[in-house]
Amino acid sequence: MSVDRGIIVAPVTIDDVKQVLGESTNDLAALCRSSNINMMSKYKPVPLNKTFVGDSLNADKRTWTAKSGAGWWIGNPNIGDGVFGMRIVSDVQQAKELGRWTYNKPTGTPEAPYRLSDFIGYNSNENENNFPLRAVVYGYSENNVVYDDNVVCILFQGGDDPVYPNNTFSLGDLLNMLRKGLGDNIYPAICIYNETKGWKTFVSSDVPMKPGVMNDEITIFRVDFKHKGKIYEGEILDGNYCGYLTGYEVGDRLTFIPLLCSTTGHDSTTFPQCIVCPAVKNTVEFCDAYVTLPLADSGNKPVTTKTIVVNISNLKLRQEVGQMLYYDNGDNSAGVIKSEKLLKVSFTLSTDYLTNLRIRLVGESDDGEGTYLKTDDVSIGINNVINFAINEKSFKMKSYGSISDAQKGVNADYSFGIPTQIAYAEHENTKCPDWTVRIELEADKATGADSNTRYEFKFDGEGISADGVILNEKY
């Protein structure tokens, strides 16, 4: 009949097939074995020991209904001999050597004859993201290293929503195939193998896979190296604890293998009969799903520096009449000072989200003649900064009710502000200080799989320098 939006509609002709595959040959055998066949299509050439299929072509002339059980598009019933070839494996070496899936095409033999009708409903539109099941290992460095503070994740996920779901191989189709080798219940599982020491850990989900889960997470396993190799299933660490990795150390090589099996539970010593979960790198080819990585010391992780721009607005500095007795416990040469005017500061801070951002406000003065004064550091820890207001009580110094208390360093309170007008000083050379007032920021470094990020801050706004000094600081 024709090709409609990349789908072959019955009755199919050689020319239809040539058009969608981009082939020039008229040979049916060559077309059935073309490297351009999109294996994401539900209907395509498969190995099946029938000259004519027994399933029913629907009225739309582009979809089929199976008469019983799985349809012809599954191929021969034996595991490994259907449309997608796979091997049952029972140890790590078999999983690595034999675990990769294949797209099995017909061979022209009586067990797998060529049929032009296999192309009815062929769908050329989908890509590898539409394969109904995929396993992804992530959480390690781009230079293929696992650091000992990483959380390595093994994700089992359905494919993206297909353009034409009725003509795309589904998770239900895939489970029909897998059940021929594994039984009715199929569970996602992982094996982590220490190549250096020869130890393995096997963990299986408690929940079997079900058809119809597309574009969604089926399950995820997390291996938390920061906390002694604990293994969890699910989105949240410390949630569904499954076991732990034992005996590993920096320098070991670890292999992470996503699996499908018929058993549930956690067993660090056995490797039950499984099928390696597939991975696809393009529309016509499978690839290995397992990953082998060395374990490295996180102390050797590269550190990058990121500049964060901090906006300061509504900056206000004002002097207020007040009294304070101050004693510099860190430098006794300052002695006792009585101030009758206090500088107070307020502003609004805006910046990016950072983990545990600490705002430290500092006022200090050194006249070069023995007088050095400094406010107590005020550190305010906040997250998710948008518009964070710093009020006038953010600068503080120790304050005493009497000279005697100040000299003894007892009964201290806090005065909020910076002393800018000295009325009394124990040492006659103490001068009214010229204060430098600045804002300092600090944030926890970001720990990533590839590198750690250290932050430096650049200030922007009226009345403040790029390094955080308030410009009109001298009094």
Is residue 393 situated within a structural domain? Answer: yes
Is residue 468 situated within a structural domain? Answer: no
CA angle 453–459–460, rounded 5-degree value: 130
Structure tokens at 31: 């077309």
**Mean pLDDT: which of 16-20, 183-187, 240-244, 278-282 is highest?**
16-20
Report the range of poorest mean pLDDT among 71-80, 167-176, 422-431, 444-453.
Answer: 422-431
Q: Are 468 and 383 in contact (CB under 8 A)?
A: no
Average pLDDT score over residue span 244-265: 92
Q: CA–CA separation, 206 vs 191, rounded Å?
A: 15
Residue 250 and residue 347 share a domain: no
Residue 56 and residue 197 share a domain: yes
Confidence of residue 471 (pLDDT cuts 50, 70, 90): low
- CA atoms within a 13 Å half-sphere pointing along the CA-CB vector of 379: 8
What 3-state class would DSSP assign to 90? Answer: coil
Residue 355 and residue 249 share a domain: no
Q: What pLDDT was estimated at residue 19?
A: 96
Domain boundary among 280, 299, 318: 299
Residue 382 and residue 398 share a domain: yes
What 3-state class would DSSP assign to 389? Answer: strand
Q: Which residue do the tokens 């390690």 mark?
A: 140
Q: CA–CA separation, 336 vs 28, rounded Å?
A: 102
Is residue 216 situated within a structural domain? Answer: yes
Query: Per-residue pLDDT for 104 more than 60?
Result: yes
Is residue 186 situated within a structural domain? Answer: yes
List, for residues 355-366, the tens digit of each pLDDT value: 778 887 777 777
Q: What pLDDT was estimated at residue 122?
A: 98
Which residue segment(s) compose the domain that 75 sits in?
Answer: 2-299
Residue 255 and residue 111 share a domain: yes
Domain boundary among 271, 299, 327: 299
Model confidence pTM above 0.75: no
Residue 170 and residue 50 share a domain: yes
Residue 456 CB contacts under 8 Å (≥ 6 apart), including other chains: 305, 306, 307, 308
Q: What pLDDT was estimated at residue 93?
A: 95
Query: Per-residue pLDDT for 421 more than 90?
Result: no
Residue 213 and residue 97 share a domain: yes
Is residue 469 situated within a structural domain? Answer: no
Domain boundary among 276, 299, 322: 299
Residue 322 and residue 257 share a domain: no
List, for residues 304-351, the tens digit of each pLDDT value: 899 999 998 888 888 888 777 776 655 555 567 788 888 888 888 888
425-431: Cβ within 8 A, 24+ apart: 425/335, 425/336, 425/337, 425/338, 426/335, 426/336, 426/337, 427/333, 427/334, 427/335, 427/370, 427/371, 429/369, 429/370, 429/371, 430/334, 430/335, 430/337, 430/370, 430/371, 431/367, 431/369, 431/371
Which residues does residue 378 pair with via DSSP β-bridges, in sequence order?
Answer: 361
Q: What pLDDT was estimated at residue 363?
A: 77
Query: Per-residue pLDDT for 474 more than 70?
Result: no
Residue 253 and residue 105 share a domain: yes
Is residue 467 situated within a structural domain? Answer: no
Is residue 338 situated within a structural domain? Answer: yes
Confidence of residue 452 (pLDDT cuts 50, 70, 90): confident
Is residue 372 situated within a structural domain? Answer: yes
Residue 444 and residue 317 share a domain: yes
Confidence of residue 446 (pLDDT cuts 50, 70, 90): confident
Mean pLDDT of the chain, nearest integer: 86
Q: Which residue do the tokens 């929503």 mark?
A: 161
Residue 202 and residue 83 share a domain: yes
Residue 424 and residue 344 share a domain: yes
Q: What pLDDT was estimated at residue 395?
A: 64
Residue 68 CB contacts under 8 Å (≥ 6 apart), including other chains: none
Domains in the chain: how many in total? 2
Output DSSP code: residue 271. -
Q: What pLDDT was estimated at residue 435?
A: 76
